[in-house]
Structures are given as C-alpha cells and as structure tokens.
Structure 1
Amino acid sequence: MSNIIKQIEQEQLKQNVPSFRPGDTLEVKVWVVEGSKRRLQAFEGVVIAIRNRGLHSAFTLRKVSNGV
C-alpha cells in the first residue's frame, strides 16, 4: 500500500519548480474568483520558511508594504 502511494506522489510532483531559500524575494500569482469573474493576483514577499514534504511541501512569505 505504501509503495503505491509513493509511486503516485512521484508522478504528481512538478519537476520544473525553481529553487529558492529563506531570504529570497518571490512573486506568487494566484487565481482569485469573485462571483463569475476570475483574475490573476500577484503577491510579492520575502521567504521566511520552507517545509519540504514532497506533495505536501509549503513555504511562507512575508509581504513588505511601504517598507514595513
């Protein structure tokens, strides 16, 4: 059972993710749905944490607004 899950996770992993580290500045674009409209919203911030867990990986950005 565990081997099947690992195999499926390997197939789902994206291979073209750029490498980044804490302290780097990233711009993330997210699709936002408002009613029947859909738009692409950009969010820029500094990476403060990375959690590498295969398909369950995550990173945390801190947005800087007006120097704060």
Structure 2
Amino acid sequence: MAAGRQARDLGVDDGLAQHAEPLLKTLALDGLQRPRPTDTDWLQPLVRDATLLDELTLATRRWRQQ
C-alpha cells in the first residue's frame, strides 16, 4: 500500500490503477486490513470484485473508528 501512496504522490499511478484489482487479489484477507482510509478511498472506485470492496470498506471503517 505504501508503494501506491508513493505512486500517487509522484503522479505515476496510471499503471497501478489499471492493475489494482488483480494486485489486491494476491493479498491475503488480513493484508487487505492494512491500508489507510486514503488508500481505500482511492482504490474502491477501481475495484469491481464484491469481496474486495467489502474488505476495503471494512478497513476504512476500522481506521475511522479509532
């Protein structure tokens, strides 16, 4: 997720956006609980898989409750 933040900060996130869903599918479910809300806010519009979207939404909720 840190690489995604750096890519966005540098303005080179096109390739990352294009491959976001396949890359996220390689993570274990506990890995999907690590992104920050700013990561999930950026990723959610790129993801179509319902399971991935649910996990990203859960990660966002957990961060924002703390």
Range of TM-score over shorter length: under 0.3
Give the structure with the larger helix fraction.
2
Look at both structures and tell me which one has the larger radius of gyration over its CA atoms.
1
Task: Provide the TM-score with structure 2 as the length reference.
Answer: 0.23
Give the structure with the larger strand fraction.
1
Task: Provide the TM-score with structure 1 as the length reference.
Answer: 0.23
Q: Which structure is richer in relative contact order (CA contacts within 8 A, separation 6 or more)?
A: 2
